[in-house]
Amino acid sequence: MPSLSTLPLVLDAARRLGPRPVLLAAWHRGPARPLARTRLRDAAVPAGPFLPGRAPAAPALPEAHRAAVLARAVALPAPDWHGPFAPRPFALDLDLFRPGDVRPVWERNRWAELPLLAQAARLDPAAGHLARAEALLADWAAANPPFHGPNWACGQEAALRALHLGLALALLGATRSPPAGARALLALHARRIAATPAYASAQDNNHAVSEAAGLLACGLLLADRVLARQGAGRLAAALRRLVAPDGAFAQLSTGYHRLLLDVLAVTEWLRRGLDGPPLPAPAPTRAAAATRWLHRLAEPLTGALPRLGHQDGSAFADLALAGPEDARASVERAARLFCGNSAGLAAEPGCAWLGLPAGPALPPPPPAWMSEGVQGWQVDGARALLRTGPLRFRPGQADLLHLDLWDGPLALLRDGGTGAYNPPAEAGWWHAHFTGTTAHNTIAFDDEDQMPRLSRFLFARWPECGPLPDGAWLRDWRGRRHARRVRAEGRRWVVEDRVGGPFREAVLRWRLCPGDWRAVPGGVAGPAARIEVAADAPLSCALEPGWESPAYGSVVPAPVLTARVRAPVRCLTTVITLAHQS
């Protein structure tokens, strides 16, 4: 129960979330708990065979990719299924925070090895890769008895495992007659997904999509029409609610947007291969719009994405071995499936494994564009991305009006990243810092976040906010106002920040890329750019040490240009002059 001091914040957050997610969460924590326990009664540990005994020949592939797949398959690490978590307690009774960060444990249990070993078996049938995959599944099943331990605690994780298993079966030509062990595993995973539907729906994020997709895939692979119809209905409803017509996802995160596309792509490919009925409108058009949205944000030469929102380092169904830092293969696969287009990688090997032909190229992003929660510009080799409003769904970070600025593949002004969801005690400051306002390129008033934090993943008193033709605005719960306008003048970018309301101090931060930066009057200069800040009040600029998280679980030093100004002040103007293009 909330304390009297936090009750106003709880009520405020509930009002902003809306009755649907609040009632679903209450149902999940109350009457649905005993129902879930009933649905998840102990079951027998599945026995093999889990996979077919032979693999078909591989498609034509670049030699470098063939070598990379075989090398990665040989180098797979020994499994660590549970990390610091107890393997035997009933999954829904586990404390998923006190022992440590469950996120890396779940990542290691998504069965990403299965598609990889299936690929390797097709490339080198005599090397024992299928036997290794079979042994991996047998070991996992024995170490994770149904519905006990951390790996049965989350319906989404069950769904992602089922999708990876389905993908491996499809690569091995066994989706229409899965071996008995695979059918048993899929049935157990379908039970786990179906046991807690209210939790997934209440999140209004990737859980609702992934779990519905997993249920649909299980139904198709098991030839269970009722299960497939249930999964398809939930997936269509989730896409209708959570993906805007312009392609923006309710969970504003480039990393989770990529996961959205990867999950949808695997599900759609399985559906086509098993002759499942297509999803009803508007699901297909929303999937296509979500593809175009991420295409705008992916750097075309490297596939790097801005660190907008939470980033957990996922690279789901990564047949191209692109890794979490390169989203181009994900965008290419989704473009071929949902848009009938290519995103510029005609020879993308993951699509070759799936037999997806390249189509005409997607149109390039326009010079200026706007979607729900984001506004973007592309001018003279540089591009900017502004975090805007309004907030229809809960924000994951206090990052409103954050600006990313890229010059070609260089993220010049960047988001601080994520750190970890549940870092170790010595790094306990990570989560609050990286989700807070000071870890973003925006203005913080009086050293406060833009909204008060209620819990690890929930803020209260969300600011009023919205887009402007050339920027965005916000008004926080204390009445403090910030309007940001962005304009590009060739290689010169101008950011105007107008502020108002009851504050003592405003601090503007520009989080810089690593480099040889030096302080100059009113700003900084370096090989990549010169950045100068001016205001209509006395201003103090400094080049300060900060932190950034380039990958989940990793935090490194980063330079930060900080401009401090005390009230009364109305306007701060930043001029960013990019280096000449070589």
Specify the long-range contacts of residues 257-261, CB closer than 8 Å, at least 24 apart.
Answer: 257/290, 257/293, 257/294, 258/294, 258/305, 258/314, 258/327, 258/330, 259/206, 259/210, 259/314, 259/316, 260/206, 260/209, 260/290, 261/287, 261/290, 261/291, 261/294, 261/330, 261/331, 261/333, 261/334
Q: Where exactly are the structural domains of the chain?
A: 14-193, 243-365, 368-578
- Nearest alpha carbon to residue 346 among 337, 356, 338: 356
pLDDT of residue 385: 98
Query: What is the average per-residue pLDDT within 540-562?
Result: 98
pLDDT tens by residue, 137-188: 999 999 999 999 999 999 999 999 999 999 999 999 999 999 999 999 999 9
- List, in sequence order, every residue forming a beta bridge with 474; answer none if it has no partner: 465, 482
Higher pLDDT, 496 or 389: 496
Residue 420 phi/psi, 5° resolution?
-160, 155
Q: Which two tokens stand for residue 425?
A: 């005690």
Three-state SS for 548?
Answer: strand
pLDDT band of 578, cuts 50, 70, 90: very high
pLDDT tens by residue, 315-372: 999 999 999 999 999 999 999 999 999 999 999 999 999 999 999 999 999 999 999 9
Query: What is the average per-residue pLDDT within 407-414?
Result: 98
> Cα 423 to chain center, whole Å?
18
Q: Are 289 and 245 in contact (CB under 8 A)?
A: yes
Please state, rounded to an integer, the average pLDDT across all residues of the chain. Answer: 97
**What percent of the chain clears pLDDT 70, i.e. is strictly above it?**
99
> Cα 270 to chain center, whole Å?
22
| pLDDT tops 70 at residue 196 | yes
Three-state SS for 374?
Answer: strand
Q: How far apart are CA 94 and CA 90, in angstroms?
A: 7
Query: What is the average per-residue pLDDT within 242-268?
Result: 98
Query: What is the average per-residue pLDDT within 510-536?
Result: 97
Q: What is the 3-state secondary structure (H, E, C) of 488-517?
A: EECCEEEEEEEEECCCCEEEEEEEECCCCC
Which residue type does 122 have?
A: R
Name the H helices within 243-336.
254-273, 283-297, 328-334
pLDDT of residue 2: 66
pLDDT of residue 1: 56
How buried is residue 258: exposed, middle or buried, by Cβ count under 10 Å (0-12/13-18/19+)? buried
Q: Is the pTM of this model over 0.95?
A: yes
Query: What is the average per-residue pLDDT within 211-226?
Result: 98
The dihedral through the CA atoms of 331, 556, 521, 581 has a sign that is negative
pLDDT band of 17, cuts 50, 70, 90: very high
pLDDT of residue 582: 60
| pLDDT tops 70 at residue 210 | yes
Query: What is the average per-residue pLDDT within 455-479?
Result: 96
Q: Which two tokens stand for residue 322?
A: 């692109």
Architecture of the domain defined by 368-578: Distorted Sandwich (2.70)
pLDDT tens by residue, 33-89: 999 999 999 999 999 999 999 999 999 999 999 999 999 999 999 999 999 999 999
| pLDDT tops 90 at residue 427 | yes
Q: Are 359 and 341 in contact (CB under 8 A)?
A: yes
Query: What is the average per-residue pLDDT within 415-425?
Result: 96
